Amino acid sequence: MLVGLEYTNLKQGRAHLTKKLKTALICGCTHDPYLDEGLWGAFCNFAKLLKPDVFHRNGDIFDFYQISRFSKDLERADAMAEDREVFFHHEEMIGKVLPKATIKIASKGNHEDRVYKHILYSPDVRASMTNFGMELPTWDSFLQLDKFGYDVRDSEGIRLPRVMYGDLAVWHGKKYSQYAVAHNVRKMGHNACNHTHRARSWACVVGGHNMYGYEMGHMADPRLATDYIEDEEDWQQAFGVVNFDDGGYFDVDVVLVKDAGMGKRRFSYKSDYWEW
């Protein structure tokens, strides 16, 4: 028996359940053209069913490997325009299933910084822009995000952009250590990121209030890890679904991709699952 329960509150609670929350579908670290093709197909089918109010690409949209410190072949930068066609194909896939009213947001990640470092410090900026088919020396111009209807969020000074869903700040992330999620919560309060490629949640009390942090994984082909990690891999494929309202409320589901046996992969949401 619950002592002190006021049954009138139960009726009020049921009334609150009728209120409609907004939904944001968040995917980060797709690293095109190294996106996991099977996962992306299942993800697009999921997006068609979910019908999100917001679709958010949360940084590291394109890998820009050819102009990174990991690539030593200077001529490989010329292949980026060809790799971009792979991104265009994937963007067309998701564009076909999203409702026309869905707001599309693209946030800058650390891999997008590679464009600035390569283009702006090249001997001939205009030649590089022409080579990549860019109108402006920016990462979003290279990806032609305006053509796909994205609201582009670039750096805010030295700070990576943050998009608010209720009181939850969604940003790409900066620190990579195992303690990054705890550091982010203590510094920022409620937040969610993708940069670490891990999938988990963490909570603590800050200033007398419960604060929550989330890492929402990545959507790249798992084989990409071999190019970046020398030690044991700790990456997890995942994406985020955030339900929120304008009053500060939010609820986060980090949707994990798991082995389903017989060489198949699967993720589930509510009572449905998607397998490939």
The dihedral sign for the CA sequence 165, 169, 172, 177: negative
- DSSP class of 58: E
Query: What mean pLDDT is predicted for residues 51-55?
Result: 98
Residue 112 to residue 120: CA distance in whole angstroms: 13
Burial of 157 (0-12, 13-18, 19+ CB in 10 A): exposed
Q: How confident is the model at residue 7 (pLDDT cuts 50, 70, 90)?
A: very low
Residue 244 to residue 251: CA distance in whole angstroms: 6
Q: How confident is the model at residue 5 (pLDDT cuts 50, 70, 90)?
A: very low
- Mean pLDDT computed over every residue of the chain: 86
Query: What mean pLDDT is predicted for residues 218-222?
Result: 92
Q: How confident is the model at residue 15 (pLDDT cuts 50, 70, 90)?
A: low
Sort residue 59 into left (φ over 0), alpha (ψ -120 to 50) or beta. left
Of 83 and 157, the structure prediction assigns the larger pLDDT to 83
The dihedral sign for the CA sequence 11, 15, 17, 21: negative
Q: How confident is the model at residue 67 (pLDDT cuts 50, 70, 90)?
A: low
Q: Which residue, among 263, 185, 216, has the nearest Cα to 60 in the 3D structure? A: 216
Query: What mean pLDDT is predicted for residues 14-24?
Result: 75
In degrees rounded to 5, what are phi and psi of residue 215?
-115, 125
Reported in sequence order, the residue ranges of 12-159 that DSSP labels E, i.e. its strands, are 22-27, 54-58, 103-107, 150-153
Residue extents of the structural domains in the chain: 21-172+237-275
For residue 243, give the H/E element and its range: strand 238-244
Query: What mean pLDDT is predicted for residues 144-161?
Result: 88
The pTM assigned to this predicted structure is 0.87
CA 102 to chain centre: 16
Whether residue 1 is predicted with pLDDT greater than 90 in this model: the reply is no
